[in-house]
Chain A
Amino acid sequence: MPSRGPNEGEKGVAHLPLTRRTMLGAGAALGLAAATGGRARAATPLTVGFIYVGPKDDYGYNQAHAQAAKALKGMGGIEITEEERVPETNAVEKTMESMINLDGATLLFPTSFGYYSPYLLNEARKNPKIQFRHCGGLWTEKDPPNAGSYFGYIAQGQYLNGIVAAHASKSKKIGFVAAKPIPQVLNNVNAFLLGARSVDPSITCQVIFTGEWSLAVKEAEATNALVDGGADVITCHVDSPKVVVETAARRGAFVCGYHVDQSPLAPQKYLTGAEWNWLPIYKDAIAAMQAGKVPEHFVRGGLADGYVKMSPYGPGVSDGARRNADAVKAEMLKGGYEIIKGPLKDNAGKEVMPAGKAYPEKAPELESTNYLVEGVKGSV
């Protein structure tokens, strides 16, 4: 939180009438420049807006985006405007409009899944000259042409987490703290177990749903319940994994991270983690805008594209585990890696994939996963 002296603030106010007059024109960014202390700026900087559903420093989902936004700030010719803790209600429409009208933003990244329909769609129709790119992969050809989406195949990271977890587990039980039984989460749970089973087919994974994206006490209780049930490696898919990582480490279990690198929270117990790397996506979109082009409408990718990466291995990872995980990672980096591969049953005994068939990472069917694979304890 940079703090400024009252004098500077008053200077900002002195500029305001001027700002108000010029607001409707192209000089809307002047207000921002004045408010940020009159920093020198390029002739017509591109203003990019980021909207987060939670705090920017949550050690999780929002931080992953905010880190990328922060890295962009060093680039020339752009201004970044950010707002955190914007709820998934029509308030986000107003935030988008405000960024467009008052900050002069022409490229918006509303990063939370629930922002898309109806809010982002409404704003995209209202502001055809503004580009909207949403994190989550929901855009289709039917949606406005100035909207689009991007997402990463992070299940690959959870698969690698599973491999490392299997090598570290002595009880052959691993655990997953999950927010809600939705396809993105189920894909991660399945990948974690399948990665572990690629090492040892006897491994099982217990999943506990907390029902909310961010609920500290429940996440801690779920972690404890998993460890009590015998799990000795824990990972999660909640917005802020900090509590899960710390609680698991205190209970003596190993942890695999999610969203961002959480190794500073548990240096001894952190094995590795599946991280987002949004920076290349944001850089590409900005470069397109600066070149006067429309950014890609539909960007998706995994490890091979650099949108997903792994945390460095922790001290608990054996050499065998490293070699195993690195070998699979090398395969994934070639692209088209198949995690869901037949023959495969769900945990109720129903066949979900016949022998000889498989879903590569880009398979659209993965968008509607509604099962947990055999070996996962829990139900959708």
Chain B
Amino acid sequence: MVADAAPSKLAADRPRALTSLPLRAWLARRLEALAIPVGAALVGFLLFGLFLIALGKSPLQLIDIVWRGGFGSPFALGNSLQRAAPLLFAALCVALPARLGLVVIGGEGAIVLGGLAAAAIAPPLAGWPAPLAIPLMAGAAALAGAVWIGAVGWLQAYRNVNATIASLLMSSIAIALANHLIEGALRDPASLNKPSTLPVGDAFMLGPMPVIGVHWGLGCGVLACVIAYLLMDRTTLGFAARIAGGNVKAAQIQGLPVGRLIVGFTALGGAFAALAGYFEVAAVQGNANGTLAAGYGYTGILVAFLARQNPLAIMPVAFLLGGIEASSGLIQRRMQLPDATVLVLEGLLFLVVLLSETLYGRFKPFNPHLWTEKREAAAAGGAA
């Protein structure tokens, strides 16, 4: 599916802008990319504040709670970062295919299968040196996710099956398959009332990162975002993908292997999502069980769209959403608001930021092409 060609086209314009326009113009465009989403997010918070006032609650108290719950102390920061870690991976599973114009919403399935694959391969590796076994477990997870979401890409590229729908169906199938195996063939007979796979064993578990105290999924997630950014924005492969995402026909005329690009980038996205499952198993839970399907895949969609599919922007957005979710408990306990409060806030933010897409290119200070048109516009009677 070619979801919306316009943002991709804009993105494709950027390298040209970089070379042909002076620094000031480049800076203006970057500022636009920062100011519009931040402004939109503020409008979203404002609307939510009105919602709260209508309910007789204090928006100021909410701000204070989100600050204290998500950002204002080392504990709150750790809480937010811990929640952000899986979102980084899950969002990449949306952002990478999005550059090719595919909307993939089935990352949850890749997370579950990735975690399951890592847990399934761990017992046979028992006794192996950890530096060997750990990459193998992560690799097994990545492979499972790559195959699963890569298949979605393949179906789109070679069978014309819509990737949004296919990934959704594949996700449901993946979760059913995982439950079937966790409660059947792969079940640890000792896991009585919480069906789980065999434990991966302490030797293969990852400890927390130094200083931050959050598990290594955070560090690796940041690394994954940086790698994805470099791949998309600094390599010919990424450039080819963006051309294909903007206009399939043009890409084909130029001889770009559109099908293989789609399969490759969806598979990579799936591999990243599956790593979220790997860390859930190897850094948090110690085995694979039903709670692997905790909804990170769906929040990842939100993160990717709020970050406008930019891997670098995924990092702050995941942190912000992690912070909002971290404060969810305090919102319940302090404001006597239901847990769904956070869902409403996230939905509003999502809507407003998406709507702000339409503002790009409309504000003069951000748009060099409007600078030169100033006199013409004035002559024409000052059009908007």
Contact = CB atoms under 8 A, between A and B. Distances in A.
A56 to B, nearest CB: 10
A118 B283 CA distance: 11
Given A183-B192, A367-B192, A35 B335 contact: yes
B338 to A, nearest CB: 7
Interface string A23-43: 000000001100100000000
A1 B57 CA distance: 12
B370 interface: no
A16 B335 CA distance: 13
Nearest to B339: A85
Question: Which of B68, B192, B329 neighbours the largest number of chain A CB atoms within 10 Å of its CB?
Answer: B329
Nearest to A35: B334
B178 to A, nearest CB: 11
B351 interface: no
Interface stretch (B14-22, B75-83, B87-95, B243-251): B75-83
B329 A114 contact: no
8 residue pairs, one from A and one from B, having the closest CB atoms: A9-B58, A35-B334, A85-B339, A88-B291, A94-B79, A182-B193, A3-B56, A89-B294
Interface in B175-210: 179, 183, 192-195
Contact of B329 (A1, A90, A94, A118): A94
Given A86-B329, A183-B193, A367-B192, A6 B75 contact: no
Interface in B130-149: none
A127 B197 CA distance: 29
Interface residues of B, number: 40
A208 to B, nearest CB: 15
A191 to B, nearest CB: 16
Question: Which of A1, A6, A20 neighbours the largest number of chain B CB atoms within 10 Å of its CB?
Answer: A6
B286 interface: yes
Given A13-B58, A98-B79, A83 B195 contact: no
A1 B335 CA distance: 10
A10 B49 CA distance: 13
Interface in B38-65: 53, 55-58, 60-61, 64
A182 B57 CA distance: 43
B60 A10 contact: yes
A377 to B, nearest CB: 19
Interface of A: 1-6, 9-10, 12-13, 16, 20, 31-32, 35, 81-91, 94-95, 97-99, 101-103, 113-114, 117-118, 136, 180-184, 211, 367-368
Given A4-B57, A35-B335, 5 more contacts: A1-B337, A1-B338, A91-B325, A98-B330, A368-B192
A136 B193 contact: yes
A254 B136 CA distance: 54
Given A31-B334, A94-B326, A211-B179, A9 B60 contact: yes
Contact of B64 (A6, A13, A86, A181): A13
A118 B289 CA distance: 12
B330 A6 contact: no
Given A13-B64, A118-B285, A2 B336 contact: yes
A118 B202 CA distance: 12
Interface in B264-310: 280, 284-286, 289, 291, 294-295
Interface of B: 53, 55-58, 60-61, 64, 68-69, 75, 79, 82-83, 179, 183, 192-195, 280, 284-286, 289, 291, 294-295, 325-326, 329-330, 332-339
A368 B55 CA distance: 49
A58 to B, nearest CB: 13
Contact of A1 (B60, B289, B336): B336
Nearest to A136: B193
Nearest to A380: B183
B264 to A, nearest CB: 31
Nearest to A81: B333
30 contacts: A3-B56, A3-B57, A4-B336, A6-B56, A6-B58, A10-B58, A31-B334, A35-B334, A35-B335, A82-B333, A83-B333, A84-B332, A87-B295, A89-B291, A91-B83, A94-B82, A94-B83, A94-B326, A94-B329, A97-B79, A98-B75, A98-B79, A98-B329, A113-B193, A113-B194, A114-B194, A180-B195, A183-B192, A211-B179, A367-B192
A85 B56 CA distance: 24
Contacts of B284: 89-90, 118
B53 A6 contact: yes
Nearest to B327: A98
Nearest to A87: B294
A143 to B, nearest CB: 15
B75 A97 contact: yes
Contacts of A182: 192-195
Contacts of B58: 6, 9-10, 12-13
A166 B329 CA distance: 45
A225 B61 CA distance: 50
Contacts of A98: 69, 75, 79, 329-330
Contacts of B335: 9, 35
Contacts of A181: 183
A118 B285 CA distance: 6
A84 B333 CA distance: 10
A184 B194 CA distance: 10
Contacts of A16: 64
A348 B335 CA distance: 54
Contacts of B338: 1
B336 A103 contact: no
A2 B79 CA distance: 28
Contacts of A12: 58, 61, 334
A368 B83 CA distance: 34
Contacts of B280: 89
Contacts of A99: 329, 333
Contacts of A103: 333
